[in-house]
Chains A and B, each alone.
Chain A
Amino acid sequence: MKNSVIRIVLACAVFAVFSGVSFAADVVLTPFGQSPDAMMVKVVLKKLGVEGRLEKILATEDLQDEKVLITVVAGSSKGLGEAGIDKDAEIARVKNVAAAAKAKGMKVLVMHIGGKGRRGTLTDMFIVEAVPMADKLIVVEGGDYDGLFSGLVEGTDLEMLPAKSVRETGEPLQQVLSEWGVL
């Protein structure tokens, strides 16, 4: 009986090492603007074998031992209304969380996956605040149609990784998470 248990534990350990599956929540996600786009990224992560913890209203004290904070930028008036916060409170929340994450040694990945359709006054306001906090940036085609992201990145060391579609963010995500020791 004891041998069986040991064998099962060993098998699980071997699987964990060789499958590349990240069991602990190495990644925590939060929307910047309260749109559901963060959920799309959570599923992309799942397909990469990474279980991300999604917290809509992530606060500094909610950070655990994650290695990476991903914030997905897209403004939703409806989402903000449901969350009971205004745009200024949302900006303050994410800025505080990002600062606390960096203080803990975490990396911050900013993503915009909604393309042109998600851009607008509200989203643009969040983008301007989000880009400076990023260690890396992933933007889906169309999101930078007017050069907003390119302009914010210009003259900095920040790398902006493009993706043709939400699904295709898997490739740059894998690259970034590998660099940061999650995969």
Chain B
Amino acid sequence: MSKNPLKQPVRRAATVVSLIAIFLLLPVTAWGKNFTPDVRPGKGVTEQYKLSRYFSPLKGTNMDTDVFVLDSGKPGATGLLIGGTHGNELAGSVAALVALENAVVTNGKLIVIPYTNLSAQSVADTRNKVSRQHLVRSRSGDRYLPYGDRRTDPADQGSEDPEKYINPGGYVLENGKEARNLNRTYPGKSDGTRTEQLSYALIALIRQEQVDFSLDMHEADTPERDKPDDDYRPGGNKRLSYTLVAHPRGLEMAAFALLAMEEDTGISLKLEESNPKYRGLSHLEIGNATNSLSFLSESPNPGQDRWRSDGDVINEPKYPLTHRVGLHLRLFKHLAEAFVVYHGKVLKIEKLPEYSELMAADIGQFLN
């Protein structure tokens, strides 16, 4: 078969262009084990490593997420910001990205994990079928924010879902799929499923790094209903968004932070205390298993409203991503301030955007 010499350069160029396109899109389009989130650390990040540093069996798995450290080198408190426990709760991950791409710590140490359950982030949302990628215009151009699923990819779990899931604390969950829900598997098990091992590794990190307090950033459905007359509280006080859950040891500190939050942002959050009978959740188990004070925040995500189809998770007018990211970040800052008041150790974070700055701009302006 004869070759057409004129077409060869064209083919070669097309191949090169295709490879470049694949390379550029890989971070946001690749699935499963090839998923690499797009994180662009700022000047404040002093160290980056894998979670498997604390539990080596995670090495090489899709659970081995990146850990970012912003260390002032000066004594003070150590805070941990946990984003992406659930892959479909975008604001937690983006709040963590905004922190590690902007913040500078001048006292104490901040540890940030933006995509805590990397496996859940690597697969598409199965609940509301929210689009996989969301384009924002960052400081360096177009950037895609990935939207994942609530639970670990079954392919990464290492075992079939049980009919019922009995978590490490002995709590029975009727839906066996919850075995892949990171926020039901704390404090984890070294010889458990991959998700239980992930919890185990996170607890190991908190112990080894002597984390003083942590905030696990979540999202829930918004207070909106399809029809204005629909009962806002079916069955009682079921609203989760705009809530801060605190381990009993951190309850007063949480109340202090919430009052500061109202003054700073005008956002009122409901305070809840960890239920000691409902085992497996981060805010309870981290506080029980370590010396750390543990908190969990919930912002309102239009993408989790069951009555919406593919809700706008970036620009929905009432619940824009800037509002939700601001909620988590300002809350963390006020928790740090409360920690000084109640425990006398300082975590001083500079260059975190103010709530008003976030609300006056697009989220991309706070991302590299």
Q: Is there contact, CB below 8 Å, between A81 and B252?
A: no
Contact A82 B275, CB 8 Å, known A42-B255, A117-B239, A120-B233: yes
Q: Is there contact, CB below 8 Å, between A76 and B237?
A: yes
Contact of A43 among B239, B246, B252, B272 (CB under 8 A): B252
A116 at the interface (CB under 8 A from B): yes
Measured between beta carbons, the chain B residues less than 8 angstroms from A117 are 223, 237, 239, 242, 270
Chain B interface residue count, CB cutoff 8 Å, equals 26
Q: Is there contact, CB below 8 Å, between A166 and B273?
A: no
Contact with B along A49-90 (1 / 0, CB 8 A): 000000000000000000000000001111101100000000
Shortest Cβ gap from A68 to chain B (Å): 19
Q: How far is the CA of A40 from the CA of B260 in the complex (A)?
A: 11
Q: How far is the CA of A116 from the CA of B271 in the complex (A)?
A: 14
Q: Is there contact, CB below 8 Å, between A75 and B237?
A: yes
Shortest Cβ gap from B287 to chain A (Å): 15
Shortest Cβ gap from B245 to chain A (Å): 9
Q: Is there contact, CB below 8 Å, between B233 and A166?
A: no
- CB-nearest residue of chain B relative to A123? B237
Q: Is there contact, CB below 8 Å, between A166 and B237?
A: no
A10 at the interface (CB under 8 A from B): no
Measured between beta carbons, the chain B residues less than 8 angstroms from A166 are 258-259, 262, 268
Interface of A is mostly: helix
B276 at the interface (CB under 8 A from A): yes
Contact of A36 among B236, B242, B268, B273 (CB under 8 A): B273
Measured between beta carbons, the chain B residues less than 8 angstroms from A77 are 236
Contact A39 B275, CB 8 Å, known A117-B237, A120-B236: no
Q: How far is the CA of A153 from the CA of B219 in the complex (A)?
A: 38
Measured between beta carbons, the chain B residues less than 8 angstroms from A119 are 233, 237
Q: How far is the CA of A40 from the CA of B252 in the complex (A)?
A: 8
Q: Is there contact, CB below 8 Å, between B259 and A115?
A: no
Q: How far is the CA of A72 from the CA of B255 in the complex (A)?
A: 14
- CB-nearest residue of chain B relative to A170? B259
Q: Is there contact, CB below 8 Å, between B262 and A165?
A: yes
Q: Is there contact, CB below 8 Å, between A39 and B255?
A: yes
Q: How far is the CA of A183 from the CA of B271 in the complex (A)?
A: 27
Q: Is there contact, CB below 8 Å, between B251 and A167?
A: no
Residues of A within 8 A of B (CB): 36-37, 39-40, 42-44, 47, 75-79, 81-82, 114-123, 165-167
Residues of B within 8 A of A (CB): 223, 232-233, 236-237, 239, 242, 246, 251-252, 254-256, 258-259, 262-263, 268, 270-273, 275-278
A-B contact pairs, 6 of them (CB 8 A): A75-B236, A77-B236, A78-B272, A82-B277, A122-B236, A166-B268
